[in-house]
A = this chain, B = another copy of it.
Amino acid sequence: MNVEFINPFLSSLLNVLSTMAHTELKPGKPKIKKDEVACGDVSGLIGMVGPQTKGSFSITFDESLALTIMERMLGERPDSINEEVTDMVGEITNMVTGGAKNLLGEKGYDFDMATPIVVSGKGHTITHKSEGAKILMPFTSDAGNANIEVSFDKL
């Protein structure tokens, strides 16, 4: 898997968060993940299946960033990661992956998306178990950190 495959997810995420929540994320350096583990408080995960490949995408937020995104979208800040927050994280996961799907489709890489799953729990870690490389991309913002991770078999 080429680092290039992270870019459609990166640009889709920046676009979704600035449009929906007026939140600017600052991308860090993408890494081919070996021992490194993204750690966060609420994550959205989704599977991808296509004729050439299959894989998975995840986005992990610090609690502070997830709550701030809710506040900027709805005008009210939840006290904790409740069902509204996990719905929002599931929706962001769908939108980011959908945006990346369009961009990758233009390059001839087609896939279909499964339905998203949201994980909630202080300081959980996520490991993508595909045969391909895992690419991790960290983000910082005024309200906390996020990470995205993408893995495709056979790319």
Cβ of A78 within 8 Å of any chain B Cβ, yes or no, is no
Give bound CA distance, A106 to B106, whole Å: 35
Chain A 31-72 residues near chain B, CB threshold 8 A: 43, 45-49, 54-56, 58
Cβ of A142 within 8 Å of any chain B Cβ, yes or no, is no
Per DSSP, chain A at the interface is strand
Cβ of A121 within 8 Å of any chain B Cβ, yes or no, is yes
Chain A 98-155 residues near chain B, CB threshold 8 A: 112-131, 151, 153
Given contacts A113-B49, A121-B121, contact A127 B86 (CB under 8 A): yes
Given contacts A49-B113, A56-B47, A113-B54, contact A127 B118 (CB under 8 A): yes
- Which residues of A are in contact with B by a Cβ distance under 8 Å? 43, 45-49, 54-56, 58, 83, 86-87, 90-91, 93-94, 112-131, 151, 153
- Please name 20 pairs of A and B residues whose Cβ atoms are closer than 8 Å in the assembled complex, sorted by A: A45-B45, A45-B117, A47-B47, A47-B56, A47-B113, A47-B115, A54-B113, A54-B114, A58-B117, A86-B127, A116-B130, A117-B127, A117-B128, A118-B127, A119-B119, A119-B121, A119-B126, A120-B124, A121-B121, A121-B122
